[in-house]
Amino acid sequence: MSIKRIEADVDDRARDSACYFCNEMFEMGKLQNHLKQCGSILEQCPLRCGAWIQRKHKDTHVKDCPQMVRNREAVSPSHVRASDPVPPHEGTPTVHTWTPHSIPLEDCVSYLEKEITSIKLILTEESSHRDVQSTEIDNLRSKLVLVEERAQHFLSTLVSLRAAVDDEAERSANWAAQFKHDLANVQLALQELQSQQMNTAMRLESVVNSLVHEQRERELLEQAMTDHDNRIRSIKALEEAVNYLKQTIEEERQRNEENQIGLMGEMVGGRLAIDRLAVLEVASADARAEASEQTAKMDLVSRDLRALTKSYHKLRNELIDFQSKVSLDNPELGGDNGHLIWRIDNFQARMKEAKEKDSVLTSPLFRTSKYGYTLKAELNLNGIGKWKGRHLTCTLRLVAGPYDQLLDWPCDLTINIVLKDQPANRSQATDVVKTLDLRRKSSSKRHDYDISGDDKTRSTESLDLNVIQMKKQYIFIPHTSLDKFEYIKNDIMFLEFIVNQ
């Protein structure tokens, strides 16, 4: 059913109302007048017999009412009511006189009393009937007002419902259009995502191939380095042998000279000494020839050693470049966002090695940004200088990067170095944070740190300049602090480097 039809039915019902007693339809203004005359309204018997009769059957009931029969029987049969006076004929003069001899006075008085009693009873019944009608009318009026209020509320509810339905229909249409638009966008995004996934898969495949190729090259370089180290050890052994031969030849030459001096003294003594001298000269000549041959061999070995050294340095540089490339391309080893978390495994073994051999740990390379400065960290677990054996020292170095020609120089960086605590609840961690200022004048400088002019002119009469420079280049963490919290857990330590840009 449409909204307009519902509103039309409601308007018709609001204009016409049914009578609660006879169910006839009347307009709102005529219903109250009808209620005053409706014959179907129930009224109590005026003679108080206890019955309720419709208004249109009231007169019939009064004639047959049991109360009326009892009233008639209560009247004595000797007191017969005089017959009603006959109306006078036309033209006969009416005499308005009362003759006491016609009707006894007592009968008249009793009759009048009965009539007055019946009149009072009728008036009482009429009054009670009017009260009942007034009460019913008031109830009907209150019900009518309530019905009107409900009708108005129903109309307002219908209007609001219609507006809500219209709004909901419009919103549904908008949602449908928006859903279609979003669905089209999702389909486009899905197509783009699929294309990106294909491109990513192709890139991953190419990266995997390149990594495999680089791994092979790295293995070849390591093998070449191993062969080169073996050659260097062989060359060193050969050098030791040549030096031993030189020393032996020199000792033999000295002995020959001594023997020649002795033989020169013995030549006077006889022919035997001359023969011996000749033999010694031949031996000396052979020794000289052998020494010349060994010298020529030494020259060849020296040339080979220089060539091998040059090749070694070339391979070492290639290996360093390869390591730096792998370190920057592998997210687990380095990064290009100015942030590095360095995991140091086997801490106890590395500390022992640092105490025995003064070894230095070097972190993977990382950059301050994608095309920024290239950095590496150096860690001395056993300390350096006067802090050796008591502190952990760490520093950062600027190394040559592929984009140094495009960067600003001098370079001033501030780096936060964080020794990470490793509790079970990360919110209770107590990290050690140190700040290091790193300065480098140009990409061609050999040193990673340069003292500013103000520091050079500062008075250092009572302080060692090397100590001051080391304090600027390194951060120091006492060994006693490592045992206070869980900085070393499962033989693992973490150092975090954050470049403040």
pLDDT band (50, 70, 90) for residue 142:
confident
Q: Please, are residues 55 and 40 in contact by the beta-carbon 8 Å criterion? A: yes
Higher pLDDT, 107 or 177: 177
Q: What pLDDT is stored for residue 261 in this prediction?
A: 74
Burial class from Cβ neighbours inside 10 Å (0-12, 13-18, 19+) for residue 421 reads: middle
**Measured on CA atoms in the order 423, 427, 432, 436, is the torsion positive or negative?**
positive
Q: What pLDDT is stored for residue 491 in this prediction?
A: 94
Give the mean pLDDT of 316-336. Answer: 59
pLDDT of 258 above 90? no
Secondary structure (DSSP) of 426-475: GGG---EEEEEEEEES-TT-SSS----HHHHHS--SSS-HHHHHHHHH-E
pLDDT of 323 above 70? no
Higher pLDDT, 83 or 386: 386
pLDDT of 307 above 70? yes
Q: What pLDDT is stored for residue 134 in this prediction?
A: 85
Q: What pLDDT is stored for residue 439 in this prediction?
A: 86
Higher pLDDT, 324 or 210: 210
Q: What pLDDT is stored for residue 190 in this prediction?
A: 87
The answer to whether the pTM exceeds 0.75 is: no
pLDDT of 154 above 80? yes
94-117: per-residue pLDDT in tens? 443 344 445 677 877 888 888 888
Q: What pLDDT is stored for residue 465 in this prediction?
A: 55
Q: What pLDDT is stored for residue 436 in this prediction?
A: 93
- Name the nearest CA neighbour of 370 among 333, 338, 323, 411: 338
Q: What pLDDT is stored for residue 268 in this prediction?
A: 56
68-87: per-residue pLDDT in tens? 767 666 654 444 444 444 44
Phi, psi for 26 (deg, rounded to 5): -140, 155
243-253: per-residue pLDDT in tens? 777 787 778 77
What Cα–Cα distance (Å) separates residue 435 from each residue in 167, 396, 438, 475, 499?
63, 11, 10, 8, 10
Q: What pLDDT is stored for residue 446 in this prediction?
A: 43
Q: Please, are residues 431 and 419 in contact by the beta-carbon 8 Å criterion? A: yes
pLDDT of 432 above 90? yes
Higher pLDDT, 230 or 350: 350
